[in-house]
Amino acid sequence: EVETRERHFEQSAHPWVPHPCRATVTSSGGVPRLTYVSRLGSSGGGGRAHPLTHRHPQHPRPAIPGRGRFGQTASTAAMASGGAAGAAEHVGNLARVGGAAYSAAMGLATIAGCGYVSVCTLAFVFQRRLQYFPTKEHPPRVTTLPEVCQGIEEFSVRTEDGLLLQGWHWPAPPSGKHAKVSLLQLHGNAGSRHNRLYWAHHTRSKLGCAVTLLDYRGYGGSEGSATESGMIKDGKAGIQWAATRAAESGSKLVLHLESIGSAAGLNAAAGLREGGGATGIAIAGIVVEGGLSSCVEIAQKLFSFLPLTLLMKDKWDGTCAAATSLDPDMPFMSMHGDHDEIVPLWCGRKLFDSVQGRKVWKEFKRGGHNNLMEQPGYFEALDNFYTDEVGA
């Protein structure tokens, strides 16, 4: 809607409006606009309609001392000119600051990216040094061990890929309660068989069974260096040797698998079963102590910022499948501490749940990863398993 109103102005009343003239106020969309037409335009004065902000050509605005053409004082004009220059300089400064901030951000991102790549590279190159902690040297000769350890026999066995492994075999005491049980222990990722001698002594003396301790490649004087595939081969060689020795003495072979030894032993047993290498090998039972479902799952919990599924060489992620493939008639027992600081309880439980046959879950309150044998009920649980499940 357009509304037009006309008024006549006299110069005496409106000194900035040319006279005589006609003013027109037009309102469109709520925005008023004032125009005027000088009456002189009709008498040949060349007058035209102009906005109020512009003067009629024949009636220029009177000059006022100290003001410019547009009514600005000299100081105002200078300030305006200086303000424009200052604004331009300010914009330039902001641009320079923004550019510097962008460059700094890109520099930091580059440094962070290079640092992350470096961490991934180091983790990939040195990962086995972070996963396996072997005592490589030969333990003391059995002839130099304390008198309580007399009777231990040294032996060696060769793997399918030609490496020579070292081990100890401690026959059962003649009057032992479980003299017909022969244990093969596959230990964890640190130390050597020498570090398991204390466990072997108490297990043998309390339960009256035979104990065999085997060192993987790279451990305790054994040749080679530790890898997942290599340790599975070592487990196969150890099981074959221990099964032969148990058959000679009329004993039942029970695997006692500690920590990562659970992964090595279960994969080895499954490999022998699937590959036909288990012919003539009878495993009467398996005990897992601080067992794990896989190494990569534990590592992901600790180093979630690293792409470990891509970086890890030895994931041990086939352990649960190996446990599932075991003979369902073979008894299985899992022993785990609910305060295990190395292999979380959920990881051991996942492995236990993968077993399909006869199984026993033994959880030790306040038990850690390396002190289960010190917990009340440890040897009693083994005693019951050998008696009730293994039948020896």
Q: 278: which strand partners?
A: none
Local mean pLDDT, 10-residue blocks, the chain (392 residues): 47 48 56 53 44 48 50 51 64 73 81 83 85 96 93 97 98 95 98 98 98 98 98 98 96 98 97 75 96 95 87 95 95 97 97 96 96 97 97 86
- For CA atoms 160, 162, 167, 170, the dihedral sign is positive
Domain ranges of the chain: 133-389
Give pLDDT, residue 42. 42
Predicted confidence at residue 44, as pLDDT, reads: 40
The predicted pLDDT at position 85 comes to 66
Specify the CATH class of 133-389 in words. Answer: alpha beta
Residue entry with tokens 């109020």? 52
- pLDDT for residue 62: 52
The whole-angstrom separation of Cα 26 and Cα 28 is 7
> Would you state the pLDDT for residue 100?
80
CA 47, distance to chain mean position in Å, is 84
pTM (2 decimals)? 0.73
pLDDT at 97: 72
